[in-house]
């Protein structure tokens, strides 16, 4: 069995990213810059000449559109696309739709920082990064990983926190360190897996 490739991409800038709003499970579209970032991600992936077998994405439009732009850019629009809310962004609960500065005024800078950057303290009615991982990782292990075990190449277009949860597992990053990890929009990360389905190398596509 040959090696397999997993490529992770965070969606391009969304309209709410641009407005500094907590987005979570809300469903804004990409900005003009976000569309450009998605096309650029596609060009970077195209340079690797990867033939994908399947793309996984979330239940949210900004990730789906990013993935579709990438597939068009690499001329692989025919492949199977699987959408599932297990790959959705972290649910920010009562913070969703609020400007981050307004949230700091309401709850205080320290409290908002804890909600944003702690591993296991969720905002009101929302998810922590730990909670997010508790839905992302079982889905990855049960649904996505078997494709990599079978030597298939997989593209995942998702979100900052759902990908952060996945990278934590793939790279064995600690709880303290993972909350510091920044994942840029539209910047693909490529992982190579050996024939046993074990990750053996990583490459940021720039």
Rounded distance between C-alpha atoms, residue 91 and residue 24, angstroms? 5
- Return the residue matching tokens 């500065």: 101
CA–CA distance, 84 with 73 (Å, rounded to integer)? 23
Catalytic-residue membership of 113: no
**Residue 2 contacts by C-beta under 8 Å, 6 or more apart in sequence?**
151, 195
Beta-strand pair 80-83/54-57: parallel
φ, ψ of residue 75 to 5 degrees: the values are: 60, 45
Residue 80 falls in the annotated catalytic set: no
Catalytic-labelled residue, pool 37, 73, 89, 127: 89
| 19 SS3 class | coil
**Are the beta carbons of 183 and 164 closer than 8 angstroms?**
yes
Q: Could you tell me which of 66, 16, 13 has the C-alpha nearest to residue 41?
A: 66
16: helix, coil or strand?
A: helix
Q: How far apart are CA 133 and CA 127, in angstroms?
A: 10
Name the 3-class secondary structure at 95: helix
Q: Which residues are known catalytic residues?
A: 11, 89
């Amino acid at each position: 069995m040959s090696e397999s490739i997993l490529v992770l991409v965070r969606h391009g800038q969304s309209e709410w990213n641009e407005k500094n709003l907590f987005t979570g499970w809300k469903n804004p579209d990409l900005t003009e810059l976000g569309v450009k970032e998605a096309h650029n991600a596609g060009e970077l992936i195209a340079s690797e000449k990867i033939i994908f077998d399947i793309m996984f994405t979330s239940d949210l439009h900004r990730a789906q559109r990013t993935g579709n732009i990438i597939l068009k850019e690499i001329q692989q629009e025919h492949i199977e696309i699987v959408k599932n809310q297990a790959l959705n962004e972290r649910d920010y609960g009562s913070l969703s739709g609020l400007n981050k500065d307004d949230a700091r005024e309401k709850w205080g800078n320290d409290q908002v920082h804890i909600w944003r950057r702690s591993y296991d303290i969720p905002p009101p009615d929302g998810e922590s990064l730990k909670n997010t991982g508790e839905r992302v990782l079982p889905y990855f292990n049960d649904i996505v990983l078997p494709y990599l075990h079978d030597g298939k190449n997989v593209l995942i277009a998702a979100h900052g926190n759902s990908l952060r949860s996945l990278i934590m597992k793939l790279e064995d990053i600690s709880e303290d360190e993972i909350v510091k990890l920044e994942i840029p929009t539209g910047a693909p990360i490529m992982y190579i897996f050996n024939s046993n389905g074990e990750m053996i190398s990583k490459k940021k596509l720039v």
